[in-house]
Amino acid sequence: MSEIFKGIPEIKYEGPKSKNELAFKFYDADRVILGKKMSEHLPFAMAWWHNLCANGVDMFGRGTADKSFGAVPGTMEHAKAKVDAGFEFMKKMGIKYFCFHDVDLVPEADDIKETNRRLDEVTDYMLVKMKETGIKCLWGTANMFGNPRFMNGAGSTNSADVYAFAAAQVKKALELTVKLGGRGYVFWGGREGYETLLNTDVKFEQENIAYLMRMAVDYGRSIGFKGDFYIEPKPREPMTHQYDFDAATAAGFLRAHGLDKDFKLNIEANHATLAGHTFEHELRIAAINGMLGSIDANQGNPMLGWDTDCFPWDVVTATKAMYEIIKGGGLTGGFNFDAKTRRPSNTYADMFKGYILGMDTFALGLIKAAEIIEDGRLDKFVEERYSSFGSGIGKKIADRKTSLSELADYAAKLGKPELPGSGNEEGLEEIVNQILYS
Ligand code: XLS
Ligand code: CA
Ligand code: CA
């Protein structure tokens, strides 16, 4: 097999002063931060769909990037060329994981038996490459939103036949994830939602989605899948109302349907902002629910209200995200760059620059989050802020050893309580800036 990304070397760490566009300035895989190597804190993954399939097509124009990799698109030869390109790319980038949808790997046939045969063939080829390179699968998933059959949803469809088809895809995608040793399996509810209540039985649809997930857990465990299942929340797009709106909604759904032991969350930054939250908010909600699973590392464009999947370059957000992840005990998954270069960034070199930007942004985020934690002033402030619960009546509340009557008597004796103390927001922001920029 000949080299595809000719002229692009292995990407090395050259440090913050380097002017080489094809080098890391901050991601230094072996550098130890808080007792662990950067590469262990940051298991980065390549998204098969954006990096190897998306060519810049949008609703106003055709693709601008050539992702044929020397083969005719729509053929098995092309499916294998994408494998060659993907492994060469990951090797040159020093990326150890990839994520995939079933239909990213092969052209879909009309008959699912033929699609599955093609999937077997391509994954045999991927396994050889995985053995050669040591590259692994982070998570797999089934695309249950692209094909017109899913126009009314997959688990939430009104058609029993389409539901069965979705189940068949989940079954196969789970088998492939196990075959490739994937750490996780994702459900992103692409069209699991509704356009109008006038034609929708919300309760029935949600129960059907949960049943599909239950069957996936049972089947996955029966074929040896030991990893986590993930829900990836998103509030809208493509559907007007998506059932897994945000982390809190998804956590409630998982609990309501008894799925919380097997599922965690895959939090995507751009989906957080579409939900009107920050990325770090979604991470905190996942963490306090014991559901901090994996990350889709990207960012939105605040000028645009849709899912732009830009490469992450906002270091402040990456720092806050890494702070939440470290404080939350880390991920069971990793950092999947569900991100694409902008349409005019259409060269092979741009593919590398996108990943260099994303990896350097999270490396900086990690370095700065660790400094904030080691500095300790934020932790100390938060501890003191709640210190009234450390003794007296506060301790009784914290220990759940009081009652409304006792608290009412206490309040009556108190007269007017003192104000609860400054939140010191500006002071804390100054500390963060001081650590970020000094
Ligand atoms: C789309 C989602 C999708 C999932 C995987 O908005 O981000 O790409 O990550 O199906
Ligand atoms: Ca995603
Ligand atoms: Ca997205």
**Model confidence pLDDT, tens digit, residues 59-114:** 999 999 999 999 999 999 999 999 999 999 999 999 999 999 999 999 999 999 99
* pLDDT tens digits for range 252-283: 999 999 999 999 999 999 999 999 999 999 99
Separation CA 144–CA 131 (nearest Å): 30
From the alpha carbon of 49, which atom of ligand 1 is closest? 8
Model confidence at 305, pLDDT cuts 50, 70, 90, reads: confident
Supply 239's token pair: 């559907």
Cβ(141) – ligand 1 distance below 6 Å = yes
Q: What is the pLDDT of residue 186?
A: 99
| Average pLDDT of every residue of the chain | 98
Q: What is the pLDDT of residue 192?
A: 98
Which residue carries 């039985």 as its tokens? 201
331-354: average pLDDT: 98
* pLDDT tens digits for range 369-382: 999 999 999 999 99
Q: What is the DSSP letter of 53?
A: I
Q: What is the pLDDT of residue 436?
A: 98
Supply 231's token pair: 């829900």
Distance 307 CA to ligand 1 centre (A): 10
Q: What is the pLDDT of residue 62?
A: 98
Using CA atoms, how far residue 299 sits from 187, 268, 338, in Å, is 20, 8, 9
Q: What is the pLDDT of residue 395?
A: 98
Supply 123's token pair: 């994954």
Is 244 known to be catalytic?
no
The amino acid sitting at 82 is K
Q: What is the pLDDT of residue 199?
A: 98
* pLDDT tens digits for range 143-183: 999 999 999 999 999 999 999 999 999 999 999 999 999 99
Catalytic residue (one of 41, 50, 78, 101): 101
Separation CA 347–CA 234 (nearest Å): 30
Cβ(244) – ligand 1 distance below 6 Å = no
In angstroms and rounded to an integer, the radius of gyration of the C-alpha atoms of the chain is 24
Q: Would the pLDDT of 1 be above 80? A: no
Strand partners, 209: none
Distance 307 CA to ligand 3 centre (A): 5
376-396: average pLDDT: 98
The amino acid sitting at 144 is M
From the alpha carbon of 188, which atom of ligand 1 is closest? 10
Q: What is the DSSP string of 268-284?
A: EHHHHHHTTS-HHHHHH
Residue nearest atom 7 in ligand 1 by C-alpha distance? 338
User: For the chain, percent helix, then strand, then coil, each to nearest 5?
Assistant: 50, 10, 40
Q: What is the pLDDT of residue 288?
A: 98
Supply 152's token pair: 């009314």
Q: Where are the beta strands (DSSP E) in 217-340?
A: 228-231, 241-242, 263-268, 292-296, 335-337
By most ligand atoms within 8 Å of CB, the mutation choice from 102, 268, 309 for ligand 1 is 268
Q: What is the pLDDT of residue 322?
A: 99
Residue nearest atom 10 in ligand 1 by C-alpha distance? 188
Q: Where are the alpha helices (DSSP H) in 110-201?
A: 112-133, 160-179
Q: Which ligand is nearest to the CA of 50?
A: 1
Q: What is the pLDDT of residue 104?
A: 98
Separation CA 124–CA 175 (nearest Å): 13
Is 101 known to be catalytic?
yes
Residue 73 class from Cβ within 10 Å (0-12 exposed, 13-18 middle, 19+ buried)?
middle
Binding residue per annotation — 307? yes
Binding residue per annotation — 30? no
Q: What's the count of helices (H) and strands (E) in the chain, helices before strands?
A: 16, 14
Cβ(192) – ligand 1 distance below 6 Å = no
Separation CA 252–CA 254 (nearest Å): 5
Cβ(104) – ligand 1 distance below 6 Å = no
Which residue carries 């300790």 as its tokens? 376
Supply 414's token pair: 């108190």
Binding residue per annotation — 246? no
